[in-house]
Chains A and B, each alone.
Chain A
C-alpha cells in the first residue's frame, strides 16, 4: 500500500525474503511503533512511582524508623556510568550514518561494558545493604523498583548483544538499514531516563 513511495525493486526485494504472510510494501513504521511501546513502558514505571509516592505519603515516618541510611557514593558513581553510556551509544549511530560498522561495534561494546559495570555495581550495593526485601515497606519498594529497572538494563544488554551478533554479517547494517542500531540506542536512552527519575525518587528525595 501507499506504493507510490516504494519503487518496484524494493517491493521485489522485500517479497523475496517474505515470511509466509504479507508484503511489507509500505514505509518503515517500526521506530514509530517503538515509541508507542515506550509509552506503555513509561506507564508501568509511572504506576510504580505513583505507588511509591503514595506509600511514602501515607506512612507516618519515611523511611520507616530503623531503616539504615542509603550510601550515596556507589549509586552516584553508578549513575554517572549509566548516564555517560548514553552518550557513548549515540556515537554508534553517528558511526553508522558514515557506514562505519566497525565504529558501531566499538561503541556498542563500550556501552555494553558500561551497562554491565552498572549491574555489577548494583549487585555489590544489594550485597552490602543492611536491609533485605522484606525488612519494611521502603526496603521492598527499593528492591522492586531498582530490580525492575535492572531487568530493563539486562534486556538492553541483550539487545546490544543481538546487534553486535548481527553486525558480524557484512552489509547487515548500513546508513540505509540501521533500525536495529537505532532501536537499541533509543531503548538504552529510555532506560537511562527511567534511572534518573528512580535515582531522584529513591536516593535524593
Chain B
C-alpha cells in the first residue's frame, strides 16, 4: 500500500521522537498526546494552588473569630479558590487533558481534527491562570464577590480585581470553546473506518455530550461578562437596579452557563469511569447504549434547569415548579449510569488497584452528592438551605467526590500509557485512603452545619458551630497532606518507575494496542476493530455475531 512507503519519508521531517525529550512539553507542540499532558500537569498545578487557597479558608474557619486573614482577604480566598478549581482544574483536566489525550487514541486516528487550534487552546490556559493569580498582588486585591460575581455586589467591590477576573474567565472560556470545536469535529469526522457511533468507547460519547454543552452555554457566559464589564467600567447599568437595570438577568445568563458547567465537569469523568470499571472488573460494561444515550439526555436536560439556582431570586412560583421538576428528572439518566456501573461491578473479577479504588470511591461519593442534589432541587427545602453550608457540602460531594475522585482514577488508570512507567500501587492506596478520609471528614459535617443555618461565604460565625468547623478544618488539612504522596509518587515513578508494558491492564480499547507511551503518529494504518470496546471474557459468546457484545440482546447470546 502506498501509505507504507510514504511513512518513513514523512517521519524524517519530524526528527523529534517520543520519550526522553521533556523540552517539548514547554513548546507550542501540536501532538495531541503532548497537549493532553500539558493540560493535565498545568491544571494539576492549579489544583494545588486552589487547594492552598482552600486550606487558607479552612484555617480561618477553624475558629469562629477573624484571626488568620482579614475579612477582605477571606472573600478573595474563597472567590479565587472556586474560580481556580472550576476554570483551571476540573474543566481543563476533564475535557482538555483526558479529552485530548484519549479521544484520538480511542477513535483510532492520529491526532485531533485541528492540531494547531488545539495547541492555541492550551496556550490560553497559562496566561489566563497567571492573570487571575496576579490579581492578588494589585492594590485593591483580587475579585471578592464569589465565583458567581453577582451584581450589584461585584460592581461595588474592587473594580480592577473584578475586571481581571472577567478577563481571565473570557480567556479561559474561549480556550474551552476552541477545545469543544475540536472534540466535536474529531468525534464526528475522524473515527476509524468500522467504528460507528454505537460502538465507540463511552468516553467519546461523554465528550460528545460535554462538548455540545461547552459550545452552546459558554458563549452566553461571555455575553453576560461583557455586559458586566460595561457596568463595571463604562458606567452603564444593565445589571444595576439604581440605573434601571436588572441584576436577575445576569443571574439567568450566568447560570445558563454555570449549571451546564457542572455537567461539563462531570460528564468527561462519567466517561473515564465507564472505561475504567469494565477493564478492572473484567466484565463487559452493563447497558452500553443506556449509558451512551443518558449522557445526551443529561446534556439536554442540563441546559433547561439553570434557574434552580435562583429559587430565592424572586423567580415566579410556576417557573420554580418547572425548574424543580426538570432538575429532578436529571436524576433519572444519572441513576441509569450509576446502576449500570454497579451492575458492571456485580459478579466481576475485581482488580482493586488505585484506579479501581478511586473509581469505586467516585461512585459512592458522587451518589451522596447526587442525592443531596435532588434534595436542594426541591423548592421548599432549597429555600431553607439556600446560601448555607448544605450547598457547600453538596457541591463538594459532586465536584470533589465526583469529578476529582474520577480524575484521580483516570490518572492512575492511564499513567502507564501516558508515561511508559507503572505507578507505585502502595503509595496509590495510601493516597486513596488519605483522600477518602480527609474528604469525608471535611465535607460530611457541612451538611449538618447547613441544616443548622450556618451561612456560606462568611469569615466569622456563631460559636455554637465551632467544634464541627474544627473537624471540617482538620479534614481539609488531611486532604492537603493527601496530595503529597501522590505528587511524589507520580514524579518518582515517571522518572524511574518500572517500565510499563503496552497493555498492563489487558484493556480492549484501542489505546492499549499501542506501545506505552504511544508512538508519535499513533496508528501507522487505520486500526481494524477486532472486538467491541468492552468484550471482556465474551469472545466465545460472540460466536458468529459480528456485533460487539455490548449491543447483543440476551437472546442472541443464549442462542449461541
Contacts and interface: CB of A to CB of B under 8 A. Distances in A.
Given A29-B113, A55-B238, A36 B184 contact: yes
Interface residues of A, number: 51
Nearest to B111: A22
Contacts of B521: 22-23
A164 to B, nearest CB: 23
Given A30-B114, A55-B249, A134-B235, A1 B192 contact: yes
A47 B223 contact: yes
> What is the size category of the interface that chain B forms with chain A?
35 or more
Nearest to A137: B244
A140 B230 contact: yes
Contacts of B243: 134, 136-137
A144 B246 contact: no
A51 to B, nearest CB: 5
B236 A58 contact: no
Interface in B144-189: 177, 180-182, 184-185, 188-189
Interface in B189-220: 189-190, 192-193, 215-220
B219 A20 contact: no
A154 to B, nearest CB: 16
B230 A144 contact: yes
B14 interface: yes
Given A3-B526, A29-B185, A33-B185, A59 B244 contact: yes
Interface in A1-37: 1-4, 7-8, 11-12, 15-16, 18-27, 29-30, 32-33, 36-37
A39 interface: yes
A41 B174 CA distance: 11
A129 interface: no
Task: Describe A's contact surface by its main secondary structure.
Answer: helix
A183 to B, nearest CB: 13
Contact of B253 (A20, A42, A51, A141): A51
Given A11-B3, A32-B189, A1 B110 contact: yes
A13 to B, nearest CB: 11
Contacts of A25: 110
A134 B234 contact: yes
Interface in A70-100: none
Contact of B246 (A1, A18, A58): A58
Contact of A22 (B31, B177, B230): B31
Contacts of B30: 19-22
A23 B215 contact: no
Nearest to B214: A40
A46 interface: yes
B526 A21 contact: no
Interface stretch (B5-13, B82-90, B336-344, B540-548): B5-13
Given A18-B13, A134-B234, 7 more contacts: A12-B9, A19-B116, A20-B29, A22-B30, A22-B110, A26-B110, A48-B227
Interface of B: 2-3, 5-6, 9-10, 13-14, 16, 29-32, 108-111, 113-117, 119, 177, 180-182, 184-185, 188-190, 192-193, 215-220, 222-224, 226-227, 230, 234-238, 243-246, 249, 252-253, 256, 520-521, 523, 525-526
In order of increasing CB-CB distance, the 4 nearest A-B pairs are A21-B30, A47-B220, A47-B223, A44-B219
27 contacts: A1-B110, A4-B193, A8-B3, A11-B6, A15-B10, A19-B116, A20-B14, A20-B16, A21-B31, A21-B116, A26-B190, A32-B113, A36-B215, A39-B215, A40-B181, A40-B216, A43-B216, A45-B223, A46-B220, A50-B252, A51-B249, A51-B253, A54-B252, A64-B244, A137-B238, A137-B245, A141-B238
